[in-house]
A and B are shown apart, each in its own frame.
Chain A
């Protein structure tokens, strides 16, 4: 008794995958970051717009005060990286869906990658190097809460 062979080989020979499966990890990233972002974004909105005096409290001193607290530094860094990469990955999938010409697709994907990288670097730089009272500045340019030299 012999078994019948598989009736047909796959019509489309798909190329062998190698290395990391970015499509899978991209999908997992979207789910994982999405869950974390719900907490981060609504926490951010609540603290900025509702808690205490609400939206009226937002000014330069409010931001300076938040960025002086290590808790909010970590919070904002997570928010920046997770949200930006989440958004960039979403745009990447849309480009993959709708940009059919290889050249156009490559240009658009490159533009998304570059702008995301620039924004990430700039944002991180601001979060970690922000100093509301830079030393040596003229006193009339400094906000009122800075210690008078």
Chain B
């Protein structure tokens, strides 16, 4: 009779190494503050932690009043776009170890939208310009066979890049023209217009091209590429804007 006896003890992992990082966060409490202020926190972190984990640790262990948005925490919902070390990033996709932790990590709300509290901004102006490009399929009448609107893989690939947008506002709030002038549509709205302008099933590309041919439309883009750098989904935003410009010049997609 033999018992299953463990030959050797399971190797207990050594303590997972941690390190201390300093985060300097731009705080603003509308009930108390008249101006935003910078506050620093020292956080004990692991190599696998992201900026979002650091924010959680601060909120859960140090200062419960720290306010920020996050939902899925895995780079899909687009809630936690913020300015990390001066660049627009999703907090849930930025690993601490990819940043230089010998220096403090600066975290602040995205720019160009009204600051509400700490890292939370009012997204309504952003969604207003998103809505104004008609970001939905506009196809009149019934499809040819009465069942479905067919599309070849090639036709689908034409606008594949811009379908990836999660509306996190990282691109729009990284755009210097958007910072200076609240009228500009911003890259995100143009990306979402691009997604339908070049969709073979859509029939109202001309309407969107006319909207974007406005004074505040695509012509305000200065091709600074901030938006392409900021996009957490890797969308070639500046290229999409350039394609919309060309479509306007051609008069058709």
Contacts and interface: CB of A to CB of B under 8 A. Distances in A.
Interface of A: 1, 3, 6-8, 10-12, 14, 17, 21, 23-24, 26-28, 93, 96-98, 100
B128 A12 contact: yes
Nearest to B133: A10
Contact of B132 (A14, A24, A93, A98): A14
A34 to B, nearest CB: 13
Interface in B81-102: none
Q: Say which size band chain B's interface belongs to.
A: 20 to 34
B181 A24 contact: no
A1 B128 CA distance: 31
A14 B211 contact: yes
A27 B136 contact: no
Given A24-B219, A28-B249, A97 B180 contact: yes
A14 B140 contact: no
Per CB-CB distance, the 9 closest pairs between chain A and chain B, nearest first, are A10-B132, A11-B128, A23-B219, A11-B131, A97-B180, A27-B219, A23-B215, A12-B132, A11-B132
Given A96-B181, A97-B180, A98-B180, A10 B219 contact: no
Do most interface residues of chain A lie in helix, strand or loop, or is the interface mixed?
A: loop
Interface centre among B211, B213, B215 (most CB of A within 10 A): B215
Nearest to A28: B249
Nearest to B204: A6
Interface in B30-72: none
Interface string B141-172: 11000000000000000000000000000000
B138 interface: yes
B22 interface: no
Contacts of B180: 97-98, 100
Interface string B99-142: 00000000000000000000000000001110110101010111
A24 B248 contact: yes
A10 B213 contact: no
Contacts of B138: 6
Given A3-B140, A10-B134, 18 more contacts: A6-B134, A10-B131, A10-B211, A11-B129, A11-B131, A12-B128, A12-B132, A17-B210, A17-B213, A17-B214, A23-B217, A23-B219, A23-B220, A24-B213, A28-B249, A93-B222, A98-B180, A100-B180
